[in-house]
Amino acid sequence: MNSLEEKESGYIIKKIIVPHCQRGPQRCEKCKQMAAEKKICLLQIYFKSDEIARPVIEVHKDGKTQWYEFDVLKVFKDEKEAKTYAKKHAIKVQFPLD
Ligand SMILES: [Zn+2]
């Protein structure tokens, strides 16, 4: 098993609330709409933080929970599409998706 820490970034599939902008659901109507529904997404996770302030996400790894910065690369329409993609590209799926 290779250590994820050795790489600068990796990919996971997880069901999340897709962030819209920095303002957040309190101040942005679009954020509020998006916060109401979680979507299954392909995420690029950054193990090393850089200057860019990205949103962070909880990732369960080796029995521990850690927070990493991430970008949303792709939004899947359903779980089936996500699973097919994960299998094809050997991407870790974070279960449960919800
Ligand atoms: Zn917004």
pLDDT, residue 2, reads 47
DSSP string, 48-98: S--SS---EEEEEETTEEEEEEEEEEEEESSHHHHHHHHHHHTPEE-SS--
Q: Which of 79, 73, 84, 95 is nearest to 10 (CA)?
A: 73
Cα of 18 from ligand 1 centre, angstroms = 10
pLDDT profile of the chain (98 residues), mean per 10: 62 88 90 91 85 79 84 93 94 72
pLDDT of residue 47: 82
CA–CA distance, 4 with 94 (Å, rounded to integer): 15
Give the pTM: 0.75
Calculate how far, in angstroms, residue 73's C-alpha sits from the geometric centre of ligand 1.
Answer: 18
CA 19 to ligand 1 centroid distance, Å:
7
* Closest among 20, 14, 71, 68 to 44, alpha carbons compared: 71
pLDDT at residue 43, as a whole number: 93
pLDDT value of residue 58: 84
